[in-house]
Amino acid sequence: MLEPGKLAPAFSLKDEQGKIRTLEEFRGKNVVLYFYPKDDTPGCTREAIGFTHLKVEFEKQHAIVLGLSKDSVDSHQKFCIKHALDVILLSDPDGKTVEAYDVWKEKNLYGKVSMGIVRTTVLINEEGVISQVWSNVKVDGHAEAVLEAIKAPQ
């Protein structure tokens, strides 16, 4: 279970360009790590666009935004191009990071039960410690809420 005050699980994943990214490379910055179910679906697209629109504001707070799903590098690249996204998207095809962050869960949609990523955002501080967790995220206004949390005095 993810809890504030605990060390964030490390990861080493490819981004939308195929470049290996690790949590450690962002040490010294706040990391907004948002988990989303699938590229190019309505909610996931709105969420990615929301974070893209606020990228400069996040950077002013020494924060980097990383989106993560099980989609492939190729899928992420197409998603970024199609919607002019300017956030780093990480590919976790084997689901190890998704499981390490405990966001792979049973979901019930219209009576159909399946496993999938529960939309979750984890704020990781400059030392790699979890500051805040948003579970079962509602997309509209979420990027703004995360930005406000970073701005708030700790």
Tell me the C-alpha distance between 63 and 134, whole Å.
Answer: 17
Put residue 149 in one of left, alpha, beta given phi > 0 → left and psi -120 to 50 → alpha. Answer: alpha
Which residue among the candidates 44, 80, 117, 143 is catalytic per the annotation? 44
As a whole number, the mean pLDDT across the chain is 94
User: Does 121 score more than 80 pLDDT?
Assistant: yes
Tens of pLDDT, residue by residue over 58-107, are: 999 999 999 999 999 999 999 999 999 999 999 999 999 999 999 999 88
Q: What's the Cα-to-Cα distance from 111 to each of 32, 37, 41, 81, 93, rounded to whole Å?
A: 32, 18, 20, 34, 26
User: Does 153 score more than 80 pLDDT?
Assistant: no
Tell me the C-alpha distance between 83 and 121, whole Å.
Answer: 21
Tell me the C-alpha distance between 128 and 30, whole Å.
Answer: 8
Is 80 catalytic? The answer is no
pLDDT of residue 1: 67
Q: Kindly report the pTM of this predicted structure.
A: 0.94
Pair 54, 145: CB distance under 8 Å:
no
pLDDT of residue 111: 85
Q: What is the CATH number of domain 12-151?
A: 3.40.30.10
Tell me the C-alpha distance between 6 and 1, whole Å.
Answer: 10
Closest by CA position to 98, among listed 79, 71, 73, 77? 71
Find tokens 């707070």 and name the residue. Answer: 61
User: Does 114 score more than 90 pLDDT?
Assistant: no
User: Does 134 score more than 80 pLDDT?
Assistant: yes
Please state whether beta strands 20-22 and 12-15 pair in parallel, antiparallel, or not at all (unpaired). antiparallel
